[in-house]
Chain A
Amino acid sequence: MKTAAQEEKLIRVSSQKGVNVYYIETDKFKTNTINVFFHDELSRERATLNALLPAVLRRGTEKLPTQQDIALFLEEQYGAVFDCYVDKKGERQIMLFHMAYIADKYTGRDTKLFDNVFGLLFDIITAPALRNGCFREDYTAQEKENLRRLIEGRINEKDRYAIERCYEEMCSNEPFGIYEYGCVEDIEKITPDILYRHYAKFLEELPVDVFLSGSFTDEEINRVVQKFGEMKRGFWKNIDAGGIYRRPDVIKEVTEKLDVNQSKLSLGFRTNTAPSDIDYHALMVYNSILGGGIHSKLFRNVREKEGLAYYVFSMLESFKGLMLVTCGIDGKNKNRTIDLVKAQMDEIKNGVISDHEINSSKMYLENVIRSMRDNQFQTVSFYLNQVIAGTNDDFDDLIGKVNAVTKQEVSELGNKIFLDTIYFLTTKDGREEI
């Protein structure tokens, strides 16, 4: 018989005032992790403030006022790791505060690390280093500069840049088009005071999900519940999922020229399918047949057969109902590649799906889903996605639904997928075909 600890099941421990605490019990990892997610609607007004806030908070707490103090403290806790991330899932901006530390049974000493590391994590979120009742001027100024460079530095990684720019162009009139780290133009006007006032609302109003993963005692779990329960909370908002259903009237074409050796082509599509829709699992299979894995039509045709690209794949942005195909090619092959991608999608729509393609896709997805359970953070992300989508599937539920998808369902789904935007990043001397 399997115990709960072998199944990586999700248990909701408490839910109060918009703060949910979840526990994923597992004993197979060497570490315990604590993940605190704050959710907000992705908006121009708040995106930059939300992105700047964790960067300033991590600079110091009341008790450990510099990041050097924090680093020293973490080293003493057997190299515990603290980090912050900002992400977007659909039109939802997510700020994560993450702590990972070695489980006491593996330190080889009589340790009790939880108290120290959770104490620090909670302090970073709720008891920052202040001056005259406000964020420190120097920390705020330095982190504004870092944020500006981070946003401008997106261009350094061309593969990712070509993906993000395609989404942005595609959704330039929708909140999803906002970069999760905000806008350079909005940084300048932020003062410590403005940020601090935003912070008060951030703590009081944003929905919070806390995920504990590993092996925690009841006492430790209760402490997490109790501390978050003590937080001053006012009205907390519900996050709107954002618009998913859309059929573009015209295909938008954007070309950006940079001094690069390889051109990047990204095609953005509307799937008109939400994660909670009945045919969402057909979309997962569709995406895998088209460009998710080495069995996919894109890999086999664009790379293996035609030799046009080293990398080519498709991916889903499930929460916004988008699909994106991206590849690195020689600029002169742009139109040929677009035609080839379209031809693959037409095949799926026309039911040209081999047994190998659909079976490999399902097995591929099953492998990916099951493998998440071997990674603490992916397990947490999986459940977070379920919570956000309101689907409440566990790993086996999801695998079951994927395996039940038929070829016909995949073909039919193809009728709802529309090309919206063609984004092309290319060389300045531009050998692009017209």
Chain B
Amino acid sequence: MKTESYSYEHIGETMHVYSHSSGLKTYVIPKKGYLKKYATFGTYYGSINSEFIIPGEDSPVKVPDGIAHFLEHKLFEQKDGSIMDKFSALGARPNAYTGSNQTVYLFSCTDRFHENFQLLLDFVQNPYITDESVEKEKDIIEQEIRMYEDDPGWRSYFNLLGAFYSRNPVRIDIAGTVESIRQINREMLMKCYDTFYHPSNMVIMVVGDVDYQKVFEQVEQSIRHKESRGEIKRIFPEEPESLNKKYVEQKLAVSVPLFKMGFKDNRTGLKGAEALMQEVGVKILLEMIMGRSSSLYTRLYEEGLINNTFAFSFTNEENYAFSAFGGESPDPEKVRDIFVESMEELYRSGLDEKTFERIRKSSTGKFIRQWNSVERICDSFINAYFKGATIFDYFDVYDKITFEYVNELFSGHFNLDNLALSVIKP
């Protein structure tokens, strides 16, 4: 059995890796003294993958929006009933989530880890989907979609993506639409399953006080596919570099307007440590420009234009990247105008190196704090993994990132031509 181990002494964490013949990798980060064990089984398949070519075939397949998420719901059903009953009989809490790029199945437990882990390995590999259960699930998912339609934070986010992208499928809500899910049938679900749930497209991550050798043995015995498989061709429409729209607005039952604003970033497709470097770099820049210690935040706050709900993030994936920042505001357009004004000032004056050093230090501290939580470790691990890196690579990134590099990112990312604003109004 081929295994490797990596240690990061400085914060007292170790990671063990096992590579299965199918191409599946399993990672274990043992957390001594933790009672909770958290295991995830993820596939590099999310809501954006609605057009693809199955390995070994020539012609592309197109499926309805929301199918990855639909499949996530249906996988919990097994031949002998719901897998949820089996997990709850063992005292575990199973769950799953679908993102734009990934679908992740997970459970947490404090007892009988290996039995629960076996359930996870088995149910993700054994779909049991009937026409009848597909029809019933449509009602439940419709309610889920309705719930998100009323969520102003969620809506402002997807409206912003719609402002950035005219064709990239990331602009479509993860669960699809009430209309698109009505078209889904068993055959389509199975086609997606067979394409994207091959172990070579997946990863397993376990965090908790577990015996990693035993985890690896269980994986070796339970993974049915023994051989690796050819690449899945993922098809995306050609996306123009420019914005789809500069401004989008929607009315919802809210008391104060909400906004999200951000930059569409055309520097995509970075892999491995380079992708992490870009992510950390832009996040440091956002913190420098609009973090709690910035003059811009102070001004907007004191003028009553933003409040404590103000937050920012940066996302970079294979074929899209963008920053997003916002919160509640009585006048989002004024926030944008002040932001633009202060960006123009910053282009003239340049970034401050001392501020960079201070933010780098505090960001490192925040990264270390993530290691308190088994869930945070897993989420951030999976996110990094599908970019071709691991969570351990971040340490190096925080150590090595330079002011010069961040300056270079600054002129690339903060391009006012690519700034869009999405507003939810009462």
A residues neighboring B (CB under 8 Å): 6, 26-31, 66-68, 71-72, 74-81, 100-102, 106-108, 138, 142, 145-146, 149-150, 152-159, 258-262, 293-295, 303-304, 307-311, 328-330, 356, 359-360, 363-364, 366-367, 370-371, 373-376
Q: A293-B88, A371-B110 are in contact. Are A262 and B365 (CB under 8 A)?
A: no
Q: Hey, which chain B residues are within 8 Å of A159, CB to CB? A: 147
A292 and B20 alpha carbons, distance in the complex (Å) = 38
Residue of A nearest to B367 (CB): A79
Interface-side segment among B44-52, B57-65, B334-342, B369-377: B369-377
Is B358 a contact partner of A371 (Cβ separation < 8 A)? no
Partner-A contacts on B (CB < 8 A): 10-12, 31-36, 82, 84-85, 87-94, 108-111, 136-137, 139-141, 143-144, 146-147, 149-153, 251-256, 258, 291-295, 297-298, 301-302, 304, 307-308, 328, 330, 358-359, 361-366, 368-369, 371-374
Within 8 Å CB of A80, what residues of B? 365
Residue with the highest number of chain A CB atoms closer than 10 Å, among B137, B308, B363, B368: B368
Check A67 against B36 for contact (C-beta < 8 Å).
no
Contact assessment for A155 and B366 in the assembled complex, using a CB-CB cutoff below 8 Å: no
Question: CB < 8 Å: which of A71, A78, A310 contacts B144?
Answer: A310
CB distance from A154 to the nearest CB of B (A): 8
Question: Chain A: which residue is nearest B141 at the CB level?
Answer: A310
A262 to B178, CA, bound (A): 13
Assembly CA distance A80 to B94 (angstroms): 33
Q: Which of these, A29, A78, A310, A376, contacts B364 with CB under 8 Å?
A: A78
- Across the two chains, which residue of chain A brings its CB closest to B110? A370
Give every chain A residue within 8 A of B147 (Cβ-Cβ): 159, 262, 310-311, 328
Max count, chain A CB within 10 A of own CB: residue among B35, B373, B374: B35
Chain A residues in 8 Å Cβ range of B368: 30, 78, 102, 106
Taking the nearest CB of chain B, how far is it from the CB of A215, in angstroms? 12
A-B contact pairs, 29 of them (CB 8 A): A6-B33, A27-B33, A67-B292, A75-B361, A76-B361, A77-B365, A106-B11, A106-B368, A107-B365, A108-B10, A138-B302, A155-B255, A156-B254, A156-B328, A260-B150, A295-B88, A304-B82, A307-B139, A307-B140, A310-B144, A310-B147, A328-B143, A356-B85, A356-B89, A363-B88, A374-B34, A374-B35, A374-B374, A376-B372
A156 to B111, CA, bound (A): 39
Q: How far is the CB of A2 from chain B (nearest CB, A)?
A: 10
CB-based contact A328/B152 at 8 Å? no
Q: Decide: A307 near B136, CB < 8 A? Known: A78-B361, A366-B110, A374-B374.
A: yes
What residue of chain A has the Cβ atom nearest to residue B329's Cβ? A149
For A142, give its contact among B32, B140, B302 (CB under 8 Å).
B302
Given contact pairs A102-B369, A293-B93, A363-B90, A262 touches B362 in the complex (Cβ within 8 A):
no
Are the C-beta atoms of B146 and A75 separated by less than 8 Å? no
Quick check: B253 and A153 within 8 Å, CB to CB?
Answer: no
The reply to whether B372 and A31 contact each other, CB–CB distance below 8 Å, is: yes
Nearest first, the 9 closest Cβ-Cβ pairs linking A and B are A363-B91, A79-B365, A79-B362, A78-B365, A71-B293, A295-B88, A262-B146, A71-B292, A307-B139
